[in-house]
């Protein structure tokens, strides 16, 4: 199975994978900004992972809201760490945004 996975990565190409994930993280960052959140700037993140700064009081509420929407992320330091995979789709992103919306609306 590992060999098949590596063959698939080679077939897709690392550059294409990075570009696709970079588009997804940019899309998530833009939506996070619309919700009043502060994602790390492009220069401070890789294409495959996004950190969004969260005040301490919002961290557990955010994780709970995401889990309620079948989205799972982690808190690292003061940031929500989001690492999308290639298989996510627009419906998955809408679930993520719904969880983030619940979390941010509870703080206002």
Per-residue pLDDT of 32-55, as tens digits, reads: 999 999 999 999 999 999 999 998
Task: Choose between 106 and 9: higher pLDDT.
Answer: 9
Structural tokens at position 63: 């994780």
Per-residue pLDDT, 1: 87
The whole model's pTM is what?
A: 0.88
DSSP 44: G
The predicted model gives 95-107 an average pLDDT of 85
At residue 108 the predicted structure's pLDDT band, cuts being 50, 70 and 90, is low
The predicted model gives 3-18 an average pLDDT of 94
Question: How many C-beta atoms lie closer than 10 Å to residue 76's C-beta?
Answer: 10
Per-residue pLDDT, 89: 92
- The answer to whether 82 touches 89, Cβ cutoff 8 Å, is no
Per-residue pLDDT, 84: 93
d(CA 82, CA 71): 10
The CATH code of the domain at 2-106 is 3.90.1150.10
Alpha helices in the chain (DSSP H): 2-12, 14-34, 56-68, 90-106
Per-residue pLDDT, 56: 87
Per-residue pLDDT, 34: 95
For 39, phi and psi rounded to 5 degrees? -75, 155
């Amino acid at each position: 199975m590992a060999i098949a996975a590596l063959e698939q990565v080679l077939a897709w190409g690392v550059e294409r994978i990075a570009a696709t994930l970079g588009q997804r993280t940019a899309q998530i960052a833009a939506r996070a900004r619309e919700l009043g959140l502060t994602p790390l700037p492009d220069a401070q993140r890789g294409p495959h992972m996004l950190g969004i700064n969260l005040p301490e009081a919002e961290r557990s509420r955010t994780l709970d809201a995401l889990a309620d929407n079948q989205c799972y992320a982690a808190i690292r330091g003061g940031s929500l760490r989001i690492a999308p995979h290639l298989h996510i789709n627009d419906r998955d992103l809408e679930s993520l945004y719904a969880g983030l919306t619940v979390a941010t609306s509870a703080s206002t």
